[in-house]
Structure 1
Amino acid sequence: MAEEIFTASTENLRDLKKQRKRICALVNRAIREKQDPDLISLTKMYALLYSAYVETSFLKLIHTPKAFTESEIIQIMAERNLEQKWLKCVDLAFNKLNTTNLGEVANKKQTLHRLLQEYIIDPSQIRNKVAHGQWVYCLNNECTKVNHDTTALMANLDFVKIEKYFCIYDKFHQCILDLLISHRTHYRDYYQIITELQDYVDSTKSWSLETKKHQILSSSKYQNYKEKNYGNGAY
């Protein structure tokens, strides 16, 4: 069963990556053509794609050959939501480490739990609202009234934030995968990936939709595009 789920998830993930590239290209085009309504629509689609991407890549991870036993997979899938499943996955992954340095294991686990909370679990409330079609007004968990805090977060969601979520998630995912299947090199790979992840977070703090627009609209490629498509006309 695990092999079948792994194969299916791999193919699903491959297609999601293709769609991601397509949406990114359309977003760049919308920015070049200054089509803000298209950009808003594409951003919502990108958020929905991220939701699907997170769930599919997680299924692929836990069903990776030699990563978890069938019993461990059942334990993970028994958790009530994806965030709890991730926590169980991380804990089981560390249980597999063959080391007597319990302090080092505790420090690694603490670091990954912090990253998991900050960059995967905390943004998951937005991911869940997108998946349930609450794109303008977000409701509380009981769907009895509007959650104004989450609604404000949704209103501030933009393409660049989602892109950062994608990149951070991929690095976190790779770190856990290395713990599971790269037993000989995971010490080296772990610190390398954690460093890359933190460097990425630090270097992209100032990134925003406005900086992306400025980068595209001030590029020589855009000037050539504008000249080719609009000549000397106003744009």
Structure 2
Amino acid sequence: MYSKHCDNLREIEGAIKLVESDLRRYISTEQESKVYKYTKILSYLVTCWSEVRILKLTYEDNAFTQSEIGIIINSGTLAFKWKNALKIAVCKAYNINPTVDFVSQLPFTPKNRYLEIHHLIESDLLPSIELRNRIAHGQWKYAFTTDLKNANTQLTGQLRQENIVKLQLKRKLLTGLSFLIHDLIISEATFDRDFDKNYKLIEENKRNLHKRDYTSYKTKMVEKYQRGKLKKKENLQA
């Protein structure tokens, strides 16, 4: 199963690269209608990637028992898959029964680390899942409430604010999250040793997610394209 999930992950990553390549071209040439459509495709693929990423992690050698794998893959939602993988990994590492209030039994530092990682799932993965579900149901321009009776203004705004910069940074965040859980599963010592370094990278990506400006990115891409056109014209005239 592990190798199959690896194959699926490679295929999705290949698709992401293709879509990103086309999307960058449309941004450079200011084809806004195509930019909007390809951004929705990229948003969908990034969340699909996060689903396969947690399945790959679940089936890694010596990571989880068959019983634990069953709990994770039968968790229902994608967010619960990530949360249960984290919960089981923490309980295994610190020898705590996962059926009790395990958070209160964690030592101070591991507890804070767990809560930080859990918060990452809540704040950075859940919104992406919600948008993916809307896109999958054809809500590309307007998102609706669950009963489909009214427009969902908040989600509609989020749909329209998605862009390549945010989506690339989200992938980096989720990659860092998977590394943290992987280290926790494989070796408590490795997790403790590398946590600050790995979490620092996640924090940097989170800051970039809020600081990096798509408008500036777009301006640079357009200017680069225009310079290329001018240089090509000059070469033809030489």
Normalising by structure 2, what TM-score?
0.86
- Deviation, structure 1 residue 101: 6.7
2:66 maps to amino acid: E
SS at 2:221's partner residue?
helix
Equivalent-residue separation in structure 2 for 1:40 and 1:229 (angstroms): 28
Equivalent-residue separation in structure 2 for 1:182 and 1:128 (angstroms): 35
| Counterpart among 66, 74, 83 of residue 87 in structure 1 | 83
Structure 1 gap ranges (5+): none
Q: Does 1:62 align with 2:74?
A: no
- Deviation, structure 1 residue 217: 3.0
1:169 maps to amino acid: L
Structure 2 gap ranges (5+): 96-104
Aligned residue number for residue 142 of structure 2? 137
1:73 maps to amino acid: I
Once structures 1 and 2 are overlaid, which stretch shifts more, 66-75 or 208-217?
A: 208-217
Aligned residue number for residue 15 of structure 2? 19
SS at 1:192's partner residue?
helix
SS at 2:93's partner residue?
coil
C-alpha change, 1:190 and 1:147, in structure 2 (3 Å) is same
May I ask how many residue pairs the two structures share in their alignment?
227
Equivalent-residue separation in structure 1 for 2:41 and 2:106 (angstroms): 45
Equivalent-residue separation in structure 2 for 1:228 and 1:18 (angstroms): 31
Aligned residue number for residue 74 of structure 1? 70
1:115 maps to amino acid: L
| Counterpart among 220, 227, 230 of residue 230 in structure 2 | 227
Equivalent-residue separation in structure 1 for 2:131 and 2:14 (angstroms): 23
1:213 maps to amino acid: K
| Counterpart among 112, 127, 136 of residue 122 in structure 1 | 127
Q: Does 1:166 align with 2:162?
A: no
Aligned residue number for residue 32 of structure 2? 36
- Deviation, structure 1 residue 224: 4.5
1:38 maps to amino acid: K
Q: Which has the higher helix share?
A: 2
Q: Percent identity?
A: 24
SS at 1:123's partner residue?
helix
